[in-house]
Amino acid sequence: MLFDAHAVTLSPTEQFILDLAIVTVAIASLIFTDSKFKSKNPGLIFTIIIVVAVSGRMLLDPIPNVQPVTFLAIMVGIYFGISYSIAFATIVTLSSNVMLEHGIWSNYQIIGWASVGILAALLRSQFIQNEKLNITNLAIFAAFSGFLFNWIVSLSILHNVDPSFFLIYLLNGVPFDLLHAGGNVAFVAWLANPLSELMNRHTNLTAPKAVPELVSN
Amino acid sequence: MSSLIATFSVVALLTILGYLAAKEEYRLKSASIVFLVVLLLSLSTLSTEWSRMTSELVDNDEDPHYGLPDLWDGKQVVCFHFPDDATPSEFADGRHHIDYDGTDFKTDKNWNNTGACVGGFEGYEEGLDLLNAAVEVRTHLFGLNITDYGDLGIFINSIGGVDPCIQGPCGDNIWSSWEIYHNGVLSLSGISTLTLNDDSVLIFQIGTTTW
């Protein structure tokens, strides 16, 4: 006997709760099962983070401006550095926009998330102190990044409207900037520490050690 | 404005409570979730109130929405311009802008008429329906007195108790009445036969006709 699962329709709220549960399970699985892997290959965890970012962005799409990409861009910036941040921003934006919507704004999203990652990489010493993550500094930066990213993406409207309208446009978006900032802080509060441990396991970046002596030829 | 302050205050207060109610190591987690949930729940109110506060008046005089808040771009608006000596005291300081839900959010004190515009309406196809919707927002100030002439349509005797024949001349070859401007042009149709656009602006003001 066959059942047509496609015939089952969920209300937007039911669908959202289901999506949220999927994202939670995915992130929790990643954090709790990752300890089994001993790989020091950053490519593995980088790829997994990209998958989490893309799926998280798509699944949390019903909530305006709350998604994990900005937070993950910050973490990638801190633990992987500038070049990975640019790659992360590009891959995540293009991959998720295939499903969400692709347009000129995609370029600004790439620039926005890459800028956040690059800034995080440059400010790394403010976030990792004594080999521990400074959650307060990270939360403040994450909140700021919500505004920064939205403002950079807002530049895309200058293709259509007069620059004099730009400030009004930015002002109108403040409630949504606040949501983005709040979402980022929530991601930092809940996920920064476990993700930091996970990234530590796969990268050599958090505890740079001086070479004791030069290798002779 | 007061709704905006109230909403922000509630968000801030609940976030602080969420912060203080949790154990020290969970405070950021608790506060951030409370902030996010309360902000999401109040987003609609917050966004509307914020848009009203930050709206600007359209300055393109070729636009039918000239002088109206840009918040109403693409939406339908009804303006009542009262004679200076018959303007309700609420509107005596300029042209007020009232949103469809009754919120008086912006006053243009430099406009050369006193009165009010009620806007933000969508989907009305007939003039009379839009007029009635606007009147409903402030029934005591815009109340209509009309005469129905059947197939000939309706005639507006007064708006908000302001009778054109008291304000201006009405005689054998001269008549004062509430005239309708549709998108800046004097309408030749009566309100009951007027077909609207998605962003129609109707202006009611007293004019005098001679023949």
Using CB atoms, which residue from B36, B46, B47 is nearest to A66?
Answer: B36
Q: What pLDDT score does A185 carry? A: 96
Instruction: Please give the residue that has the higher pLDDT: either A22 or B158.
Output: B158
Helix (H, G, I), strand (E, B) or coil at A132: strand
Q: What pLDDT score does A35 carry? A: 60
Instruction: Please give the residue that has the higher pLDDT: either B80 or A20.
Output: B80
pLDDT reading at A212 higher than 60: no
Determine, for residues B35 and A185 on separate chains, whether the beta-carbon distance falls below 8 Å: yes
List phi, psi (to 5°) of A138: -65, -40
pLDDT reading at A130 higher than 60: yes
pLDDT tier at B83, thresholds 50, 70, 90 = very high
Helix (H, G, I), strand (E, B) or coil at A129: strand
Say how far residue B202 (Cα) sits from the centre of its chain: 11
Class of domain B70-210: mainly beta
Q: CA B47, CA B40: separation in Å to the nearest integer?
A: 10
pLDDT reading at A61 higher than 50: yes
pLDDT reading at A101 higher than 70: yes
Closest-CA residue in chain A for B35? A182
Reported as half-sphere exposure (CB side, CA atoms, 13 A), residue B123 has a value of 2
DSSP 8-state class, residue A207:
S
Closest-CA residue in chain B for A66? B36
B118-136 as b/e: b if 16+ CB within 10 A: bbbbeebeebbbbbebbbe
Work out the burial of residue A36: count CB atoms within 10 Å of its CB; fewer than 13 is exposed, 13-18 middle, 19 or more buried: exposed
* DSSP labels, A58-120: HHTTTSTT--SHHHHHHHHHHHH-HHHHHHHHHHHHHHHHHHS--SHHHHHHHHHHHHHHHHH
Looking up tokens 């066959």 gives A2
Q: What is the mean pLDDT of residues A57-61?
A: 88
Rounded to the nearest angstrom, the minimum Cα separation between B36 and chain A is 6
Mutate to test the interface with A, among B4, B54, B72, B106 (most CBs of A within 10 A): B54
Instruction: Please give the residue that has the higher pLDDT: either B98 or A13.
Output: B98
Determine, for residues A178 and B39 on separate chains, whether the beta-carbon distance falls below 8 Å: yes
Mutate to test the interface with A, among B3, B8, B32, B53 (most CBs of A within 10 A): B32
Sequence-ordered list of residues with C-beta below 8 angstroms from that of B72, at least 6 positions apart, any chain = B65, B119, B120
Q: Is A150 within 8 Å of A176 (Cβ atoms)? A: yes
pLDDT reading at A172 higher than 90: no
The string of pLDDT tens digits covering residues A77-87 is 999 999 999 99
Q: What pLDDT score does A209 carry? A: 45
Taking all residues of chain B, what is their mean pLDDT, rounded to a whole number? 91
Mutate to test the interface with A, among B26, B33, B34, B39 (most CBs of A within 10 A): B39
pLDDT reading at A24 higher than 80: no
3 state SS for chain B? CHHHHHHHHHHHHHHHHHHHHCCHHHHHHHHHHHHHHHHHHCHHHHHHHHHHHHCCECCCCCCCCCCCEHHHCCCEEEEEEECHHHCCHHHCCCEEEEECCCCEEEEECCCCCEEEEEEEECCCCEHHHHHHHHHHHCHHHHCEEEEECHHHCEEEEEECCECHHHHCCCCCCEEEEEEEEECCEECCCCHHHCECCCCCEEEEEEEEEEC
pLDDT reading at B209 higher than 70: yes
The string of pLDDT tens digits covering residues B9-61 is 999 999 999 999 999 889 999 999 999 999 999 988 888 888 888 888 998 88
Integer CA distances (angstroms), A187 to A70, A183, A206, B30, B141, in order: 9, 6, 21, 12, 51
Q: What is the mean pLDDT of residues B68-91?
A: 93
Q: What pLDDT score does A10 carry? A: 73
Q: What pLDDT score does A36 carry? A: 60
pLDDT reading at A207 higher than 80: no
Determine, for residues A185 and B28 on separate chains, whether the beta-carbon distance falls below 8 Å: yes
pLDDT reading at A127 higher than 70: yes
Q: What pLDDT score does A26 carry? A: 72
Taking all residues of chain A, what is their mean pLDDT, rounded to a whole number? 84
Q: CA B40, CA B36: separation in Å to the nearest integer?
A: 6
Residues of A with CB under 8 A from a CB of B: 63-64, 66, 135, 139, 168, 171-172, 174-176, 178-179, 182-183, 185-186, 188-190
Q: What is the mean pLDDT of residues B171-187?
A: 91
Helix (H, G, I), strand (E, B) or coil at A122: helix
Mutate to test the interface with B, among A160, A179, A184, A190 (most CBs of B within 10 A): A179
Q: CA A84, CA A92: separation in Å to the nearest integer?
A: 12
Determine, for residues A182 and B39 on separate chains, whether the beta-carbon distance falls below 8 Å: yes
Sequence-ordered list of residues with C-beta below 8 angstroms from that of B65, at least 6 positions apart, any chain = B58, B72, B73, B77, B199, B201
The string of pLDDT tens digits covering residues B95-128 is 999 999 999 999 999 998 999 999 999 999 999 9
Residues of B with CB under 8 A from a CB of A: 28-29, 31-33, 35-36, 39-40, 43, 46-47, 50-51, 54, 56, 70
For the record, the structure tokens of A201 come out as 């396991």
Q: What pLDDT score does B1 carry? A: 62
The string of pLDDT tens digits covering residues A133-150 is 999 999 999 999 999 999
Q: What pLDDT score does B12 carry? A: 93
Using CB atoms, which residue from A63, A139, A186 is nearest to B33?
Answer: A186
Q: Is B190 within 8 Å of B153 (Cβ atoms)? A: yes
Q: CA A163, CA A154: separation in Å to the nearest integer?
A: 11
Determine, for residues A179 and B40 on separate chains, whether the beta-carbon distance falls below 8 Å: yes
Q: CA A44, CA A38: separation in Å to the nearest integer?
A: 11
Four-CA torsion B119, B120, B122, B125, nearest 10 degrees: 10
